[in-house]
Amino acid sequence: MSQGPVATLELPRISENRPTAGARRLLFAGNPNAGKTTLFNRLTGLKARTSNHIGTTVEVRKARVIWQGQPVEMVDLPGLYGLDNHSAEERVAAEYIESSLADPAIDLTVVMVADATNLERSLYLAGQLRERCDSLVIALNMTDLTRRRGIELDCQHLAIELGASVVPVSARSGEGLDELRDALVAGAECAANGCPACLACSGCKPAKRYAWAEQVNERAGGKGLVRDSRLTQVLDDWLTHPVYGLAAFILVMGALFQSIFMLAETPMNWIDTGFASLGAAAAGWLPDNLLGSFVVDGVIAGLGGTLIFLPQIFILFLLISVLEDTGYLARAAFVVDRYMARAGLPGRAFVPMLSAHACAIPAIMSTRTIDNPRDRLATMLVLPLFSCSARIPVYIMVTAMLFADQPLLAGAVFAGAYFLGIVAAFAAAVVIRGTLLKGRPNPLLIELPTYKRPHLQTALTTAIDRSGLFLRRAATLILTISVILWALGTFPRLDPEQLPAATAEQVEQLQAEQAAPERIDAVVAAAQLEYSFAGRLGKTIEPVFAPLGFDWQISVGVLASFAAREVIASTLSVLYGMGGDGEEDPDSIGERLRDNVSPAAGLSLLVFFVLAMQCLPTQVITRRETGTWRWPLFQLGYMSVLAYTAAFIVYQVGSIWLG
Ligand SMILES: Nc1nc2c(ncn2[C@@H]2O[C@H](COP(=O)(O)OP(=O)(O)OP(=O)(O)O)[C@@H](O)[C@H]2O)c(=O)[nH]1
Ligand SMILES: [Mg+2]
């Protein structure tokens, strides 16, 4: 069959389980990391997140496709090992399966995705599902890997033992998908007379069920499957070793960040020059009036100030995705567990912490793999301290300003900002675990996934997806705020005939000196900006931020960035650009800042942005995951105090040192 699936994606709330009227429902269930989401993506054409570690999917995800003119609802579930005695993280999937099974209105087929390289373990859940549902299809996934190891599982025999269709597939390569689709369209009724296996173990104790799984696995030819090859064992000995493992960890993370900056440099320069020439060209075409200023100073400057970070975001997600796919990250979690435990954080917090370097939102959601509620809450509270990609603009802006001619120092300060975020998160965890959430984290017990060759296409899809999200934000939220700021900085208009006395005097003096007209324009533009709403607002709040060394422009930017922190870059591009020297060629953000901000104030700004909680969407997610506004408010409170205090110290000490 080759009808292209037409899919729409929706994210229901966890508890939502209403069937779509008249639709068949296909439920993708299976052990964690068996490839459920990869298969779901294949069949729906969607791009839900997949990766080679346990617990990637934490929410129920539905999609609707049309197959042979009929609507089919596909549901991707988080992984689970069994229907009974499930742990907290398996709850979402177990409850969804139970409630779907209990609802007679749903025309349900369960697609059990089984990892062929670990068939025995999958059979435990398969046996349970077979007992409870009348329509079950086993998608025996990862057969590309078993084949490579020279093992052919006997699917026909398995089908007889289980009394259900068994279709060998490779979700990654797409092999067997047509056969799977045919089996699903056909309806996939289980053998009416029941199957010996299920009759034999109905109501069995787990131990008996495991024994049954072992026997069936053996009869299907899965006994020869040694999960871990010799190479895997050797690699694991090294990568989880307390000393070599830590060295490897530092090396890998260092290489990751180093390559992000190296690879992103050239495309960032292109974007920078591109927008600079675009601004200059637009300034040439457009009349020198409000419209011209709106396009050049509002739209182009605002967009350019944000889009410049696209290459870094793309490369960061690409590399993290590649690394995840290899299976290394689970080993890294194992290595850092002992250090995390000292701060009161569970080892499982490692993967959320790593994703928090891209964005705190998915990171907070992925803490669902931490069973202990206190461990989980402590992790959530400190996650926003890690340097997410929205902070990168500020880091680049400030380092470019302070150390334009010293790339090594710039790199060190940049890394320092990341490091500060990590140290602050661990310190906050120590304090929180010692006071609010007393107790020690549970020791780390994770299953190490098998090493896999990374899939470039998956990584590219993730990177494109995340960059798309960033672009949409840039195009909507950030552009809107830039335009609002332009308007705030433009109105009310200052009548050129009625300049304030000081400005008029300055202009007269410049005219007497026969200064270049641009210099006179710049003086008038600065007076206009101070006269505007933005100028008045900035001047009002300036005293609050003055002890941190922020002038009124930065104060406006800091205020705006409490909605979304990356706004600061476009804000300053707009505000400093508007009050700028009026030259044809707009300078880079770094140069503009250098003219306006002292080094001590720059460092203080950097520290403030490392530590401040400036992201409404993250707070909304924290509210959702904790069920109360108390914790997001706590996040906002402690992080604001921390940011203000640290920036204050940096500015005061920095002013003495740096002059
Ligand atoms: N070689 C190979 N790898 C696969 C196949 N299917 C999935 N994978 C890889 O297996 C890993 C896990 O895939 P996911 O689709 O995220 O697994 P999942 O079952 O949704 O995992 P959870 O959401 O954590 O329960 C990813 O690295 C996939 O690229 C396959 O058929 N062959
Ligand atoms: Mg998944």
* ipTM entry: 0.99
**pLDDT the model gives residue 654:** 92
How does residue 480 score in pLDDT terms, banded at 50, 70 and 90?
confident
* Whether the Cβ atoms of residue 614 and residue 561 lie closer than 8 Å to each other: yes
| Per-residue CA distances from 580 to 405, 537, 577 (Å) | 22, 19, 5
Question: pTM for this structure?
Answer: 0.72
Residues 355, 295 within the same domain = yes
Rg of the chain over all Cα atoms, to the nearest angstrom: 29
Ligand that comes closest to the CA of residue 51: 1
Where residue 549 falls among pLDDT bands split at 50, 70, 90?
very high
List the residue whose alpha carbon is closest to atom 11 of ligand 1: 52
In the structure encoding, which two tokens stand for residue 411, read together?
């790199």
Q: Determine phi and psi for 333, rounding to 5 degrees.
A: -60, -40
Does residue 150 share a domain with residue 69?
Answer: yes
Burial 427-452 (b: 16+ CB within 10 A, else e): ebbbebbeeebeeebeebebebbbbe
pLDDT of residue 191: 59
What residues are paired with 291 via a beta bridge?
A: none
Cβ pair 60, 96 in contact under 8 A: yes
Task: Please state, in angstroms and rounded to a whole number, the distance separating the CA atoms of residues 51 and 35.
Answer: 9
Residues 211 and 283 in one domain: no
Residues in the chain: 659
Strands 165-168 and 107-115: unpaired
Name the residue of 27, 28, 33 to mutate for ligand 1: max ligand atoms within 8 A of Cβ: 33
In-domain check, residue 526: no
Count CA atoms within 13 Å of residue 381 on its CB side: 27
Contact 54 CB / ligand 1 (< 6 Å): yes
Q: Which residues, 6 or more positions from 230, have their beta carbon under 8 angstroms from its beta carbon?
A: none
Q: With respect to residue 73, please indicate whether it lies within any of the assigned structural domains.
A: yes
HSE of 170 in the Cβ direction (CA atoms, 13 Å)? 12
SS3 content of the chain, % helix, strand, coil (to 5): 65, 5, 30
Say if residue 158 is in the same domain as residue 285.
Answer: no
Q: Mark whether 67 and 132 lie in a shared domain.
A: yes
Q: 309 with 181, same domain? A: no
Predicted local distance difference test score (pLDDT) of residue 341: 87
Residue range of the domain that includes 115: 8-219
CB-CB contact of 470 with 313 (8 Å): yes
Q: How many angstroms is it from 52 CA to the middle of ligand 2? A: 10
Better-predicted residue by pLDDT, 360 or 607: 607
- Residue 611: inside a domain: yes
Q: Rounded mean pLDDT of the chain?
A: 83
**Do 209 and 264 fall within a single domain?**
no
Q: Which ligand is nearest to the CA of 462?
A: 1
Residues 212 and 80 in one domain: yes
Nearest CA to ligand 1 atom 21: 33
Please give the average per-residue pLDDT across 399-409, as a whole number: 76
Q: Is 145 in the pocket of ligand 1 (CB under 6 A)?
A: yes
Lowest mean pLDDT among 11-15, 123-127, 211-215, 440-444: 11-15
Question: In terms of domains, do 291 and 151 share one?
Answer: no
Task: Report yes or no on 349 lying in a domain.
Answer: yes
- Examine residue 502 and state whether it is found in any structural domain, yes or no: no
* Stretch 356-381: mean pLDDT: 85
What's residue 9's pLDDT?
A: 39
SS3 284: helix
CB-ligand 1 contact for 368 (6 Å cutoff): no
Taking the C-alpha atoms of residue 110 and residue 313, their distance in angstroms, rounded to an integer, is 38
pLDDT of residue 1: 35
Q: Which of 178, 462, 215, 433 is nearest to 323 (CA)?
A: 462
Q: Is pLDDT at 193 greater than 50 in this prediction?
A: no
**In this structure, is residue 233 part of a structural domain?**
no
Cα 455 to ligand 1 centroid, rounded to whole Å: 10
Distance CA(546)–CA(386), nearest Å, equals 26
Angle between helices 328-342 and 230-239 (to 10 degrees): 30
Same domain, 164 and 266: no
pLDDT in tens, 9-50: 333 333 345 555 556 899 999 999 999 999 999 999 888 888
Alpha-carbon distance of 118 to 69, in angstroms, equals: 36
Q: Name the β-bridge partners of 138.
A: 112, 166
Q: How confident is the model at residue 174, as a pLDDT?
A: 93
Specify whether 274 is located in the same domain as 210: no
The predicted model gives 131-135 an average pLDDT of 85
SS3 488: helix
What's the pLDDT score for residue 361?
80
> 535 pLDDT exceeds 80?
yes
Under a CB-based contact definition with an 8 Å cutoff, are residues 492 and 531 in contact? yes
Among 54, 188, 25, smallest CA distance to 118 is for 54
Based on the structure, what is the number of domains in the chain? 2
CATH code of 149's domain: 3.40.50.300
Instruction: Give the count of alpha carbons within 13 A of 90, CB side only.
Output: 17
